[in-house]
Structure 1
Amino acid sequence: MKNVQFKLKIFAMSFIAILLFCSFHPKEEKGWIQLFNGENLNDWQVKITKHELGENYKHTFRVENGLLKVRYDEYETFDGEFGHLFYKHNFSHYKMRVEYRFVGKQAPGGPQWANRNSGIMIHGQSPESMGKDQQFPICIEVQLLGGTKTEERSNLNLCTPGTNVVMDKKLVLDHCISSNSKTYLDNQWVTAEIEVRGDSIVKHIIDGKVVMQYTKPQLDERDPSYQKLLPPDGNNLLKNGSISLQGESHPIDFRKVELLNLGDDCN
């Protein structure tokens, strides 16, 4: 009898351990999803400022020779047509890896700050909810910056259009915060990684090194879109959202955009 009771106790303890593991340890090996298939933009939606959703103004976003390109060769001048290319699904817990490079010269009329400037937008609003003249989605921006041999610029910085984050247990209200990365030059392929754990923690990683991290990404109540995007429960923390690639007037190539789902189910 004692032997049976002992076995039942061991079984119960093992069952509880499995439940605890499933509750607190997300499954990390569901396979990398290739968000960019190397052939077309079928799984993506274009939104360019001053234009309707789906209008790829002047062929800004295109696929050529297996590369996803942002180009301005058909523009006479850049007049605030900031572009974003949205993936078809939202995500919450994931790792994302992007390989990119800046090429060529900035479009005429592009703002000075946008030279060698692009971004990976995460936890963003849907493209359908953006206004026609809206320049940037409400989101967390992982900023991509290129430098020159004479100009040092950190990479994988944080910008917060319509959002805020928490660093060192303090709410940060600054729009852009620099990372501690080194400078990366034109025509140099760079591998940028992001680790996102819902509304708990976000890490920016380059060359395998974490160069920026923060917690509690959230809507900024100072932004005019705050009430429109606030969910019915009033919780302003960003648990998930859209992913988009940015075009800010400087040509850029992407040769890989992939994602590893870190969903916390036990199926």
Structure 2
Amino acid sequence: MHSCRLAAALAPLAVLALLAAPAQAQAMKAGKWTPIFDGRSLDGWTPKIAGYPAGENYAQTFVVQDGAITVSYAGYDGKFGGKFGHLFYKTPFQAYRLRLNYKVLDPALPDTPAWARSNSGVMFASQSPQSMSLAQPFPMSVEFQILGRDGAGPRPTGAVCTPGTSITFDGVKAKEHCIPSKTAPTIANGTWTSLELEVLPSGQVTQKINGAVVHRYAGVALDPTDSFAAVARPYFETHKATEGYIALQSEGHPIAFKDIEVQELQ
């Protein structure tokens, strides 16, 4: 086709594209960024540590130090003992953006499992702390996994893990419990790092580290066939979908979180 005729034919399509872009932008409205951590206290946050009821902050696992929520094992007498813990924000969210800064600290406790060294995470689409059983180590949720360096080799952060849930990549259900990121960096412990999570009204989830996308997926759903679901049978009997709580993880390795903010989407 002659270039002039081609340009004339494409012109209406270009106009339609320009009109569609603002319409798509208007279809999703973003609220203001709201801090959910005041930098001074754990107000609005509930701890749940394996072996203890919701609300009991065993040995002051979660403390505020230097303006950050810090996972501390100072009161553990040198033994982790499988006391996996999570600190939940009080409000469930449906569609939103979350941003925070984290720093993996040292050292881990001696009996921290090898896989949990320099390992933590941000759980979302989670059940509430009150709905967890007493000994339950992990909430039914999706985990934006945080990995620090452990040894000399590469250890990219930003994997996604699915305790009691499932996700899809391009419409196909993921088979693995944890899916590493192919693009995320290995970050040295002691380095403040930016983490961003976006959960769209459509269900698409995007994970970012230091502003770069490290994972994108969708289809978050409860999965009663998952091996982690066995400890939460009553929850699956009374819930059809995830409730949407956010939680910070304690897995035997200290870590700090600060500048925690949420922007709700509609």
Q: Could you tell me the TM-score, scaled by structure 1's length?
A: 0.84
Partner of 2:42: 41
Change (3 A) 1:23 1:230: farther
Deviations 1:146-198 (A, max 9, x none): 01571211111100000110112211121000012010111100001000124
The answer (yes or no) to whether the contact 1:220–1:226 under 8 Å persists in 2 is: no
The residue type equivalent to 1:26 in the other structure is M
Change (3 A) 1:128 1:148: closer
Counterparts of 1:209-220 in structure 2, within 5 Å, are 209-220=212-223
Matched position secondary structure for 2:215: strand
Distance 1:159 1:102 in 2: 18
Counterparts of 1:91-240 in structure 2, within 5 Å, are 91-147=93-149, 150-179=152-181, 180-198=183-201, 200-222=203-225, 223-224=229-230, 225=232, 228-229=235-236, 236=241, 238=242, 240=243
Distance 2:114 2:216 in 1: 27
The residue type equivalent to 1:107 in the other structure is L
The answer (yes or no) to whether the contact 1:219–1:226 under 8 Å persists in 2 is: no
Distance 2:41 2:233 in 1: 34
The residue type equivalent to 1:39 in the other structure is R
The residue type equivalent to 1:122 in the other structure is F
Distance 1:36 1:65 in 2: 13
- Structure 1 consecutive aligned stretches of length 4 or more whose deviation exceeds 2 Å: 20-24, 223-232
Unaligned runs of 5+ in 2: 1-18
The answer (yes or no) to whether the contact 2:165–2:223 under 8 Å persists in 1 is: yes
The answer (yes or no) to whether the contact 1:90–1:242 under 8 Å persists in 2 is: yes
Distance 2:135 2:72 in 1: 20
Matched position secondary structure for 2:54: coil
Distance 1:88 1:96 in 2: 15
Partner of 1:3: none
- Please give the root-mean-square deviation of Cα atoms over the aligned residues, in Å: 2.1
Unaligned runs of 5+ in 1: 1-16
Equivalenced residues, count:
240
